């Protein structure tokens, strides 16, 4: 493969200097700044979150990296990480229906998603610099990840499927980049039948979630994709935005030998 061309898929780093330019999705400890609080505090919980998968010496893809906390923690464990996140506001598909918003509201909403995304990317790049990270970054749409990024020993898909209209399509796409292990950390409900539950209700205020999938759906979908589940564990994590602990399930799946 032509190396110059391969390098060009990676984002250029940003020179971010102040916290004012940033919005942190994750709480993180940064040299010179101390603890910076974000929406979720996963500090000290990385092993639970990754389902105790050993990432040392592994090439890892962090899908939906946000402020990058998981990328930087996996790097600390000796992984070589590529962080992936949305390129622009049009790729973020929070539930919204025409009957709920005027055209003006819709424009403002897109603008606010764009501002948040840019400030979140800044939080990633500030941390990247302060932590001397070597992680590479690719911005794009989860449904169309560039094949030039190559194959990974471990692909991590965490707390992103819930925000997508077609989570199964996105999972299938992400799985194609894993040569060995796929870790999925998401809200999941326990049911052996392959089911997908719609989160928005017509009489409720709309949030940011579309679907929760059942354990049975993950088992069947992963089987179709050539993986088998090796562990499934549910843990509670500090969601500072919602001021409470929230259960999140980590599914570790391994590619079957013949697929």
Ligand X SMILES: C[S@@+](CC[C@H](N)C(=O)[O-])C[C@H]1O[C@@H](n2cnc3c(N)ncnc32)[C@H](O)[C@@H]1O
Q: Who's near 9: CB < 8 A, 6+ residues apart?
A: 138, 146, 148, 149
Complex with ligand X: residue 209 or 216, whichever CB lies closer: 209
| Strand boundaries in 75-226, DSSP class E | 80-85, 136-139, 152-158, 178-186, 188-189, 196-198, 211-214
Shortest Å distance, C-beta 31 to ligand X: 22
Shortest Å distance, C-beta 239 to ligand X: 10
Shortest Å distance, C-beta 78 to ligand X: 20
Complex with ligand X: residue 142 or 253, whichever CB lies closer: 142
Burial (CB < 10 A; 0-12, 13-18, 19+), residue 114, is middle
Cα–Cα distance measured from residue 49 to residue 74, given in angstroms and rounded to the nearest whole number: 11
Shortest Å distance, C-beta 92 to ligand X: 5
| Category of 132 on φ-ψ map: left (φ > 0), alpha (ψ -120 to 50) or beta | left
Shortest Å distance, C-beta 167 to ligand X: 11
Shortest Å distance, C-beta 203 to ligand X: 25
CA atoms within 13 A on the CB side of 103: 0
Complex with ligand X: residue 82 or 117, whichever CB lies closer: 117
Cα–Cα distance measured from residue 105 to residue 111, given in angstroms and rounded to the nearest whole number: 10
**236 and 223 Cβ atoms separated by less than 8 Å:** no
Residues in the site for ligand X, rule: CB under 6 A? 25, 40, 64, 66, 70, 85-86, 91-92, 117, 141-142, 158-160, 163, 185
């Amino acid at each position: 493969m032509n190396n110059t061309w391969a390098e060009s898929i990676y984002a250029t780093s940003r020179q971010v200097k102040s916290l004012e330019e940033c919005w942190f999705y994750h709480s993180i400890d940064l040299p010179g700044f101390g603890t910076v609080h974000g929406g979720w505090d996963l500090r000290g919980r990385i092993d639970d979150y990754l389902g105790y998968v050993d990432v040392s010496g592994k090439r890892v893809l962090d899908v939906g990296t946000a402020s990058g906390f998981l990328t930087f923690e996996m790097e600390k464990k000796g992984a070589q990480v590529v962080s992936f996140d949305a390129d622009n506001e049009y790729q973020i598909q929070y539930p919204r229906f025409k009957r709920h918003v005027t055209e003006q509201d819709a424009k403002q909403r897109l603008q606010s998603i764009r501002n948040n995304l840019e400030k979140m990317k800044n939080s990633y790049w500030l941390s990247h610099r302060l932590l001397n990270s070597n992680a590479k970054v690719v911005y794009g749409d989860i449904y169309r990840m560039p094949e030039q990024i190559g194959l990974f020993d471990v692909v991590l898909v965490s707390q992103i499927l819930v925000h997508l209209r077609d989570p199964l399509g996105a999972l299938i796409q992400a799985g194609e980049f894993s040569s060995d292990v796929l870790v999925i950390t998401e809200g999941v409900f326990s049911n052996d039948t392959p089911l997908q539950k719609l989160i928005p209700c017509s009489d409720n205020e709309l949030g940011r979630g579309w679907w929760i999938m059942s354990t049975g759906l993950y088992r069947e979908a992963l089987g179709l994709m050539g993986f088998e589940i090796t562990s499934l564990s549910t843990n509670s994590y500090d969601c500072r935005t919602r001021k409470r602990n929230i259960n999140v399930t980590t599914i570790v799946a391994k590619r079957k030998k013949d697929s």
